[in-house]
Amino acid sequence: MAAKQKLMSVRRDWRERDVRVVLVALVIAVATVATIALFANQLQRTLVSSASSFLAADRQLEAENGRPVPQAWIEEARDRGLETGQMIEFSTMVLGESEFQLVSVKAVSDEYPLRGEIEIQPTADATRHMVGSGPGRGELWVNPRLLRLLELDIGDTLEVGNLELTITSLLLREPDGGFRLSSLAPRVMIHVDDVPQTGVIQDGSRAEYVYLFAGADNILDDYFQWLEPQLEPSHKWESVRDGETFSRSLERAERFLLLGGSLAVLLAAVAVAVASRQYALSQRDTVALLKTLGLSSKGIGGLYLRRLALWGIAGALGGLLVALPLFWILVRLLSDVLEQPVDFYLDPAALVPALLTALVSLFAFAYPPIRRLRHVAAMRVLRSQPGETGREAIPDIIIAIVAVFALVWLYAGEIALVVSLLGGLVLLLAVLALLGGLMVAALRRVRGGGNAWRLALVGLYRHRQASMAQMAVFAMTLMLAATLILVRTSLLDDWQSQLPDNAPNHFLINIAPDAVDEVEAFWSDRGAPLDSVYPMVRGRLTELNDQPVQEAVSKDERVGALNRELNLTWMAELPADNEIVAGAWFAQGDTEGVSVEAELAERLGLVMGDRLTFTIGSETVTEPITSIRTVQWDSMQPNFYMAFPPGGGLANMPGTWITSFHLDESNKIALNEFSRRFPTVSVLEIDHIIERIQQIVRQVTQAIEAILALILAAAFVVMAAVVSATLKDRQREGALLRTLGGQQSLLARSTMLEFAILGFFAGILGIIAAEAAVYALQARMFEGNFNWHWQVMLPIPFISALLLALFGRWQLRPVLNVSPMLLLRRLE
Amino acid sequence: MNQMTDLSTTDTSPMLRVTNLTHRVGLEIDTLTILQGVSLEINRGESVAIVGRSGSGKTTLLGLLAGLDTPTEGTVSLDGAQISSLSEDERARLRASRVGFVFQSFQLLPALSALENVMLPLELAGMEAPEVRAKELLERVGLGERLNHTPRQLSGGEQQRVAIARAFASDPVILFADEPTGNLDNRTGQDVSDLLMELNREQGTTLVMVTHDEHLAARCGRQLHIEAGILTEPELARERAN
Ligand SMILES: Nc1ncnc2c1ncn2[C@@H]1O[C@H](COP(=O)(O)OP(=O)(O)OP(=O)(O)O)[C@@H](O)[C@H]1O
Ligand SMILES: [Mg+2]
């Protein structure tokens, strides 16, 4: 092999410690970013498809007006290559052995469900299993509780309207167990083609036609664009993303992943920058010699540029080689959590950010110090030249900072993230400068001596520039890791508090006012006390400041809320999860005013003091807005757009009561007795949905923890890179000290102390900066409230002190265990 | 190679002409004058030793003569080229084809084998069959058996012999050496300087050498003294005095 080519071979480079660090950092950067991107993609798809099954499709079109939509709409969807399906939901009375029972019928086409599966049990003692389509013609699947209410068995027949159907299976869980009011009664499922023969649906009877669509996102979006102008107000287009319940969890998980990816990029960038600077310094002699032998500075530039390119290729390939198996493991974990096989979804586009990271890391972080090699004086071969003062590196640092934030921005697409992280870093550097100044001033006084502490402090002072640089990098690394830990902790807490184990999972609707006490007593006797019970009055918002609301509100804002009846309530206390954003909650004894939900108020352009007129049956009520409040729709509590004070506008309006409560699986049998005693009260069972959401949260949590582990590994490599940067000097110094008679144990202790002090202060700086960054992030990206996290943060300085001390000790082991003579020769 | 000798005999212009060379470096407070008013001519095929006390400016002068650095004042012309007015890259090109170096600390690239170290200047000068020529030279310096050893596997004397082979590899017209025996013991130093002188004679190269070694200096055709940055030539001075 030609000598010049050999100078550039990666295999040869690998023997050089700094190159190894650069390559490892590159591999980690590429691997982390690629894994995160791949996995985020996979998670997104899995979550969406798992959440899609809440709709039993990717999109649903609901016609609430009781009429089917034009067939042309469905044909258009099919022409565009979308899968379609249909269902009709309606309520009807059926006659069991001894009594009539109101049931909610869901009639489904062969294609149902397009997403997700139905859980059934063909006989009472068969095992439950999942199936991919609904009952055939002539069949009927039934909710187990209903079967008991009707005193029927599998194999019996049941008449729905005029049609006699055979009960062939128990219906345990349907993928799209939504909150539709029409489905309050116990469920039976039949085939959609049997509906006409039942004769139940006639003009004017209440039925809901629901159309299912599935396909690629862009086709669905295009289709909706085509469809939208033709939709009537009673048509509702639903996608998973709109579903209040998951969107927040999904969005936050995505942001967390983005944040993690960005931090990985930052960490890798730091490692690459540190190691390549070190590498450049070590290459100066070689460059001087090459120049002496006649290589021009252009030739030198080309040589190192080609070398960088080789590193880039090696780093990218290595990174992918790590990322793919890792991704495979994560997906396997995911399917374990989901208890169902997950299809791999390897999107090549997800690799672009990883390769871009490699490219930018190399050219923005590794290249600048290496580029300056061209200016090394040839005279260096004859006499060592004044070293770099560090001032030359300032443009490098500026280039690096700009590049890294451009990368994070590009990658996360969140200016808030970039600003928060940058702010945290600036704060960190400012505090470091201050603290460093003080420390150097204090250390100056320390005199050396035979004591490990003194030796450590003197060591810190003697290497004050390197010490400060190391501290800056350690602190930055710790800050990034701490930020991630903090965000993860608050994210999980938030999810946990959103859906605690005893979250309400059943709603009782339609409780007659005089039955409220009895219902409450029924459930508290059975150990499942009700949460708050709210009155509910159905009414329509008709006037705004004495003008018909359709005129008062601009056309675009004629939201669904105006077309249907709203649930109105009255209550004395503000529910715990509501928050007043304008005005004040009703005082004791207030009877005037109405409190409006914030998002609706915003969409309709309502402000404090606006007078709202509601039409309830034949009556009207007019009240001024006295407060605007936010509502947590995903709290699984009854929520209301409009709340009146007790004795206020709704005082004499006809209404029923609604409540939610937690009922354990083991207690569910009590529902039968309840239905018999309170036949008019509707029970809405959402325990399966809650379980699903909890499952999703669990799986996202696992993913987050896996990614956190990856990032902490990246952080460790950065630290290692930085410590190794001064390794040679330290080893030489240690060897010299030992030659001059320093004892091994003294040397070991003072080195460990020196690193421990560095680690401790870096830890303190890191957590201060992390709290600052999280403060900004929390407010802007995760919509959470900021809390201090001392329990999480406090151990960090101690852990970093310990780890660094051990690492320092480990790095010094060749100096400690070998005879000084051998050492000096080896280090020459 | 013979051609080279012919050239040096036919071309009578000096190989190296230095006029009024002054070199100063700026220190933090004031400037330090390292060389002052050095003028000198070295003819083709001459061998010249520069001697002087430590810190007198020998290395600085050598660096300027070889075009590794540029002087504060004065001119240096090497083989007809005004190197003090050339750009850095032009000087590098000149070095690649016409200048060889031997250093006190050998300056071999630790990652390359002996053979590759010798091939390097040949490749940089774009010569053909670098491997053949490099092998030939390594055999000439007595290391034909050690071609694939890296510098770490060689003794100091062996390393310096590789360096000498490298210095002569690209057929330089002039060779600069800075204390080539400075890091070697007497015996080895002797061997190495024998080799250096022999090769120099064979190739007809002009040699400029800084040395502390009086024997070695005495073997050169001409000795220059430098003291506190001022160059004197004892024999010339004696001649003039006579
Ligand atoms: N860049 C520089 N900055 C400051 N002083 C310098 C610089 N270069 C050389 N000197 C000083 O100039 C003087 C001459 O240096 P030079 O290396 O040429 O001496 P030398 O004769 O080769 O000595 P030795 O025999 O010890 O190698 C020394 O005092 C040295 O410290
Ligand atoms: Mg010298």
Beta strands in A322-467 (DSSP E): none
Range of the domain at A457: 435-503+686-828
Q: Which residue of B has its CA nearest to A383?
A: B59
CA proximity to B92, closest of B57, A337, B101: B101
Decide if pLDDT at A578 tops 90. no
Domain count, chain A: 4
Burial level of A826, CB count in 10 A (0-12/13-18/19+)?
exposed
Pair A216, A95 in one domain: yes
Q: Does A131 map to a domain?
A: yes
Asked whether residue A348 is assigned to any structural domain, the reply reads: yes
| Residue A428, in any domain of the structure | no
Domain count along chain B: 1
Q: What is the pLDDT of residue B1?
A: 40
What is the pLDDT, as a whole number, of residue A6? Answer: 65
Helix/strand/coil for A663: coil
Examine residue B1 and state whether it is found in any structural domain, yes or no: no
Atom of ligand 1 nearest to the CA of B63: 18
Looking at every residue in chain B, the average pLDDT score rounds to 87
Rounded CA gap, A88 and A108, in Å?
7
Q: Which long-range contacts (CB under 8 A, 24 or more apart) does A229-233 make?
A: A230/A73, A232/A65, A233/A558, A233/A560, A233/A563
Question: Is B22 within a domain?
Answer: yes
Structural domain ending residue among the three candidates A657, A685, A713: A685
Assess whether A264 and A229 both reside in one domain.
no
What is the span of the domain harbouring residue B219?
16-241
Q: How confident is the model at residue B3 (pLDDT cuts 50, 70, 90)?
A: very low
- How large is the average pLDDT for residues B22-46? 89
- Average pLDDT on A708-732 reads 73
Closest to A379 (Cβ–Cβ): which among B69, B99, B170? B69
Closest CA to ligand 1's atom 2: B25
Residues A595 and A531 occupy one common structural domain: yes
Residue appearing with tokens 């939201």: A559
Q: Is the pLDDT of residue A183 over 50?
A: no
Q: Which of A239, A265, A299 is the last residue of a domain?
A: A239
Domain shared by A757 and A721, yes or no: yes
Boundary of a domain, candidates A181, A206, A239: A239
Name which of A237-251, A253-267, A419-433, A584-598 the model is least confident about. A237-251
pLDDT digits (tens, 9 = 90+) for A80-119: 999 999 999 888 888 877 777 778 889 999 998 888 788 8
B147 at interface of A, judged by CB pairs closer than 8 A: no
- Average pLDDT rounded to a whole number, residues A354-364: 85
Q: Is residue B39 part of a domain?
A: yes
User: Which amino acid is it at A526?
Assistant: R
What is the pTM for the complete model shown? Answer: 0.68
> Which class for B22: exposed (0-12), middle (13-18), buried (19 or more C-beta within 10 A)?
middle
Query: Mean pLDDT throughout B81-85?
Result: 87
Looking at the complex, does the CB of residue A8 fall below 8 Å from at least one CB of chain B? no
Bigger pLDDT: A734 vs A167: A167
Cβ-Cβ contacts under 8 Å, B170 against chain A? 294
| Cβ separation A6–B68 shorter than 8 A | no
What is the SS3 assignment for A157? strand
On whether residue A754 sits in a domain, the answer given is: yes
- Do A547 and A634 reside in the same domain of the chain? yes
A82-91, A690-699, B24-33, B77-86: segment of lowest average pLDDT: A690-699
> What pLDDT was estimated at residue B62?
92
Q: Would B3 be classed as within a structural domain? A: no
Q: Is the pLDDT of residue A496 over 80?
A: no
Q: Tens of pLDDT along A48-72?
A: 666 555 677 888 898 877 788 899 9
Cα separations in angstroms, A459 against A435, A455, A759: 17, 6, 15
CA angle centred on A275, ends A274 and A279, rounded to 5° = 120
Which of B59, B72, B208, B209 to probe ligand 1 with, by most ligand atoms within 8 A of CB?
A: B59
Predicted pLDDT of residue A493: 74
In a shared domain, residues A782 and A792? yes
* Interval between CA B51 and ligand 2 midpoint (Å): 10
Instruction: Tell me: do A631 and A768 sit in the same domain.
Output: no
pLDDT of residue A200: 83
What pLDDT score does A410 carry? 74
Q: pLDDT tens across A504-534, in order?
A: 888 888 888 888 899 999 998 988 888 888 8
B182 DSSP assignment: T
Between chain A and chain B, how many beta carbons pairs sit less than 8 Å apart? 87
Task: Tell me which residue has its CA closest to atom 17 in ligand 1.
Answer: B59
Q: Does residue A240 register a pLDDT over 70?
A: no
Residue A80 within a domain: yes
Tell me if A167 is assigned to some domain. Answer: yes
Average pLDDT, chain A: 79
B211 lines ligand 1 (CB under 6 A): no
Q: What is the ipTM of this complex?
A: 0.86
Cα gap A25→A28, rounded to integer Å: 5
Name the band, by pLDDT with cuts 50, 70 and 90, for residue A321: very high
Is A430 contained in some domain? Answer: no
Q: Which residue of A has its CA nearest to B130?
A: A2
Measured between beta carbons, the chain A residues lying within 8 angstroms of B117 are 3
The minimum-distance atom of ligand 1 relative to the CA of B212 is 25
3-state SS of chain B: helix, strand, coil percent to 5? 40, 25, 35
Contact A299 B107 (CB under 8 A): no
Closest CA to A290 of A278, A277, A274, A302: A302
B219 touches chain A (CB under 8 A): no
> Does the CB atom of residue B60 touch ligand 1 within 6 A?
yes
Residue A488, both tokens: 């993860």
Residues with CB under 5 A from ligand 2 (ion): B 59
A191 lies in the same domain as A110: yes
| C-beta atoms of B103 and A382 within 8 A | yes
Q: Is B227 among the domain residues?
A: yes
- Rounded to 10 degrees, the C-alpha dihedral A553/A557/A559/A562 comes to 0
Residues A773 and A804 in one domain: yes
Find the DSSP H helices in B127-231: 130-140, 156-169, 186-203, 214-219
Question: Chain B contacts of A286, Cβ < 8 Å?
Answer: 109
The pLDDT assigned to A181 comes to 40
Residue of B96, B115, B116 with shortest CB distance to A293: B96
In whole angstroms, give the CA distance from residue A460 to residue A811: 17
Q: Do both A639 and A734 map to the same domain?
A: no
Task: Evaluate the omega torsion of the peptide bond into residue B180 and state whether it is cis, within 30 degrees of 0.
Answer: no
Q: Within a domain: residue B7? A: no
Chain A hits for B103, Cβ within 8 Å: 381-382
Which segment, A117-131, A372-386, A810-824, B152-166, is predicted with the most confidence on average? B152-166
Q: Supply the CATH number for residue B137's domain.
A: 3.40.50.300
Q: Looking at the domain assignment, is residue B76 inside a domain? A: yes
What are A237's two structure tokens? 């287009």
Residue B4 lies in a domain: no
